Amino acid sequence: FPRGRETEQEAHLVVAGRLVSDPTSTIARLGLAGAVDFLGRYPQAEAPAVFRRAHVLLHTKVNDPCPTTVIEAMACGVPVAYAASGGTVELVGDDAGVGVPHPDGFERDEPPEPDALARAVLAVLAERERYAAAARERAVVRFALSDWLARHAALFAELAPPASPLRGP
């Protein structure tokens, strides 16, 4: 598999959120200066605009139980390349992105190999329109907020019915 920017001269990585270490030296060593943008933290209201900048979400967290980032990206029509473990597999399904296998287990996080993640990104980009449409449809059909609120309201009503004014709490 070809490595480096030679394969995708127009590729640009956008990193949003908090970083735990300074990537400057790694970016310089890899010759990626100018190919990576760091947005830092952003308010939730700006999330759709952040996601709409992307052609694909690269979600590398292994065993992520229920990553809302993935749902938010799909709601914006952004397909996902991801570590195939945890809840991400169920959220994305077979049509909204490409999962990458990696060593399974909870003793330590072992993410997929970088080349395998790169191949997943390229696979999504090769059929981006199809994956993007499927991502948006999946988010709308399976993760609509109104449905989530209705399910939770019914569950709360069943498990903790309102107190009767005659009985008290």
Residues 7-40 have pLDDT tens digits of: 555 788 999 999 999 999 999 999 999 999 999 9
**Pairs from 96-100 (Cβ < 8 Å, separation ≥ 24):** 96/131, 96/134, 96/135, 96/138, 96/139, 97/56, 97/57, 97/124, 97/131, 97/135, 98/123, 98/124, 98/131
Q: Which ranges of the chain would DSSP assign to H, the alpha helix?
A: 24-29, 47-52, 68-75, 88-92, 114-126, 128-142, 145-159
Residues 101-146 have pLDDT tens digits of: 999 888 888 999 999 999 999 999 999 999 999 999 999 999 998 9
Residue 161's pLDDT band (cuts 50, 70, 90): confident
First to last CA, the chain: 65
Q: Residue 1 and residue 112: Cα distance in Å, rounded?
A: 15
Q: Which of 91, 88, 80, 82 is nearest to 64 (CA)?
A: 88
How far is the CA of 1 from the CAs of 9, 14, 110, 127, 160, in angstroms? 16, 23, 21, 19, 56
By the 10 Å C-beta count (0-12 exposed, 13-18 middle, 19+ buried), 125 is classed as middle
pTM of the model: 0.83
Per DSSP bridges, beta strands 36-40 and 57-59 are unpaired
